[in-house]
Amino acid sequence: MESFITDKAYINGKWESVADSFEVLNPYNGEVVGRAADCDKALAEATVKHAHVAFQSWKNTCAKARSSILKKWFELILKNQKSLAELITKENGKPIKESIGEVAYAASFVEWLAEEAKRNYGTTIPTPHPNKRLMSIKQPIGVAGMITPWNFPAGMITRKACAAIAAGCTVVLKPAEDTPFSALAIAKLGEEAGLPAGVLNIIPSSREHAPEIGNVICTHPDVAAVSFTGSTATGKILLGLAASTVKKVSMELGGLAPFIVFDSADMNKVIPNAIACKFRYMGQTCVCANRIFVQESVHDEFVSKLVAAMKKELILGDTLDPANSFGPLINEKALEKVVESQVEDAIKNGATVVCGGKRGSLGGTFYEPTLITGVTPAMKCCNEETFGPIAAIIKFKTEDEVIALANDSRVGLAGYFFSNDVAQCWRVAEKLEVGMVGINEGLMSTAEAPFGGVKESGLGREGSQFALDEFTEMKYMCWGVLH
């Protein structure tokens, strides 16, 4: 793993030294994982220029050649799965079993997109004119600027960058300040797989320089597309910047996922899915269950069984130890600004803390897995993305009522519900105002399916047969005078 930790940036096929650096800390114990390159505006601008030059040749490589490199990259990621997983856990505190799973997840996108590179089809169009022939082709858009999050530092990079690379684009990527080494490790393996110089560029930065690099990515005239995963608030700022040069933009932003339990649901299936959907990576994912709606006739049973499962399965400790399944939050700000404030607000407004509700005994940024009942739609935990281990339970009576409550939000990334009524499953799946629906399933993301939201949860889709669309332009060709 040590070979993946570097204080250099990866620019134009070279590992470049940078004047300044910043510390990356392990959330579990506060120890320094390493020092990362602190890139600035000038270096970001130079990197875009390199990527633009590289694009002139990369766009002309055949699909099979791009696919071949991606397949080698996929194999190298799996070969280094253990080291990559340990690095992720040290950077962001994710339980090691989940980090191992993330590496496999990240690799799955490389494999899928290696095949999609060869399926970037155009169309022939029936013509209304006998002496004309009509067709369309898809062409790579150019340099793709990317900003990726800390919660899935490997998965988000391959899901974005490999789609662009498969399409024939080049990439300038700024990883999250908390997890730069995971991005650089993925890049190192891409280099080993045969990526030409300038096709993938990684420019880490501290929080101090992040805004100026984001500005370059969103406003530089040589950047043709922008892809961002993060908060809705930040996404709106970047979208405004990108508008100045009318870039193609894809964004996966915040969520407020409803998790609905109807009275016909099989509780033996609901509980393990609730644990996975709410508490995976301590609730620090954009598709986590944020509001748990339970029909009143099964409310008490659900609460009792979920609390028992939480106490049994969520084991706090050093997340490099596979015996532990629950680690620290990413940093103190995440704990104070979101988790503690939401719990305090709920208690103040009449909710009951059934379990948890306080910092963990291990200190640091540990927060106990928490379940709150008596939650109402006006509380913070129902209106703000939690990004933490709070299961907020809201009781409901009817299907119409819960649909209205679930849709009462300006965001719509993911939604989940559990029911054994087939007709109800169709109705609810169609009525939920989200981009992705889990029906009797709490974990649904896969490389083969389109990932993305509606409303203020983002633009575009990642993964699936549509992945390359975010990085291509459609060109229409009209052939005349054929007779």
Among candidate residues 254, 262, 279, the one with its CA nearest the CA of residue 98: 279
Give me the residues paired with residue 326 across strands.
316
Among candidate residues 230, 178, 172, 246, the one with its CA nearest the CA of residue 206: 178
Per the CB < 8 A criterion, the answer to whether 418 and 444 are in contact is no
Structure tokens at 303: 């609460």
Following CA atoms 182, 188, 189, 191 in sequence, which dihedral angle do they give, to the nearest 10 degrees? 150
Among candidate residues 99, 203, 113, 206, the one with its CA nearest the CA of residue 152: 99
Per the CB < 8 A criterion, the answer to whether 470 and 462 are in contact is yes
Per the CB < 8 A criterion, the answer to whether 452 and 435 are in contact is yes
3-state secondary structure of 35: strand
Q: Determine whether 399 is an active site residue.
A: no
Residue of 91, 116, 252, 368 marked active site: 252
Give me the residues paired with residue 414 across strands.
436
What is the C-alpha R_g of the chain?
Answer: 23
Give the list of residues 6+ apart from residue 26 with CB closer than 8 angstroms, or none. Answer: 32, 33, 90, 91, 93
3-state secondary structure of 151: coil
Per the CB < 8 A criterion, the answer to whether 227 and 160 are in contact is yes
Among candidate residues 454, 450, 404, the one with its CA nearest the CA of residue 434: 454
Sign for the pseudo-dihedral over CA of 387, 390, 394, 400: positive
> Which ranges in 80-227 belong to alpha helices (H)?
81-92, 96-116, 155-167, 180-193, 210-219
State how far the Cα of 226 lies from the Cα of 249, in Å rounded to an integer: 5
Among candidate residues 320, 322, 324, 316, the one with its CA nearest the CA of residue 366: 316
Give CA 71 to chain center in angstroms. 22
Strands 352-355 and 370-373: antiparallel
Sign for the pseudo-dihedral over CA of 293, 296, 297, 298: positive
Q: Which residues are catalytic?
A: 252
